[in-house]
Each structure stands twice: as structure tokens, then as C-alpha cells.
Structure 1
């Protein structure tokens, strides 16, 4: 199975609402590795690496918001070279 890696920038109500922890839980369930971190401009950056099916499911779940309090207004997704991350971490 082909491994892909994406950088995902989440816009909306995504800081201070458990977004990073919820994202990590979803990534762990789907065997996705990478990281999630708050950015100074109020967005959240996610690096997600995994197989295509898992990544598609991951992106659709993030779009809905990984916690009841988060509201994602927009996701920017771009391809990155794979880096063979071992874990999914909160930065």
C-alpha cells in the first residue's frame, strides 16, 4: 500500500477546544503518524502520514471537527514528501 504525507492547515474554531488531542486520537485509531500543533495565527497545522484510505477517512473526520467544540471552516491540504514518522505527537 502506498504511503502518503500531507500538511493540513485547519481554519476556524480550532484552538482551545481540544482540537489537537482529538486529532491525535483519530490519527492513532487510523494508524496515521505525524504531528499536530497550534500556529500563532490561530490555525492548527497537522502533518499526517499513512495509507490513502486512512488519510481520506482522517481528513473527512477532521473536517467535521475532532471534538464537539471545534468548528472547522476550511482545510488546506498539500502533499509533502513522506518522512516515515513513527508516532503521532502533539507539539
Structure 2
């Protein structure tokens, strides 16, 4: 299956609520590779690589909030060239 790479900027209550760890768990469950990191403006940046169906599921679960304390208000999603990550990691 063809792989895609997405940059996702997540807005809302997404720092200090276990968001990155929850994202890591979802990514591992869906065989998504890439990174997740907090940005200084209060958003979270995710680089996610995987096949289209798994990326759609991943986005759906991120929108819902990967932890009970997270509140996602908006996602900015852009396609990127593949980076060929081997695993998903927290930065």
C-alpha cells in the first residue's frame, strides 16, 4: 500500500494533558511512524507516515483527543514528502 506523510498541527488543550504519550499509543496501534512534539505557541506538531486508511483512523482519534483531558479545537493538515521514519517517537 502507498505511504503518505502528513504534518498535523493540533490546537486546543493539548499540552500538559498526556497528549504526546496518547498520540504515541495510537500511532503504534495503527502502525503509523513519525514524531510528536510540543511547540512553544501551545500547539502540538505531529509528523505521521502510514497508509491512507490508517492515517484517516489516526486523524479521527487525534481529533477526538488521545486522552480524557485533551480538548482538540482544530487540526491543520498538510501533506509532506516521505521521511521514511522507522518508528513513532516523542520529541
> Aligning the two structures, in what range does the TM-score lie when normalised by the shorter sequence?
over 0.9
Alignment of 1:1-12 (within 5 A): 1-12=1-12
Cα deviation for residue 83 of structure 1 reads: 1.1
Gaps of 5+ in 1: none
Deviations 1:10-42 (A, max 9, x none): 000000000000000000000000000000000
Following the alignment from structure 2 to structure 1, what is the Cα–Cα distance between the partners of residues 58 and 66? 10
Aligned residue in 2 for 1:66: 66
The TM-score with structure 1 as length reference comes to 0.99
The TM-score with structure 2 as length reference comes to 0.99
Aligned residue in 1 for 2:81: 81
Following the alignment from structure 1 to structure 2, what is the Cα–Cα distance between the partners of residues 7 and 63? 14
Matched residue SS, 2:86: coil
Following the alignment from structure 1 to structure 2, what is the Cα–Cα distance between the partners of residues 34 and 83? 8
CA RMSD of aligned residues (A): 0.3
Gaps of 5+ in 2: none
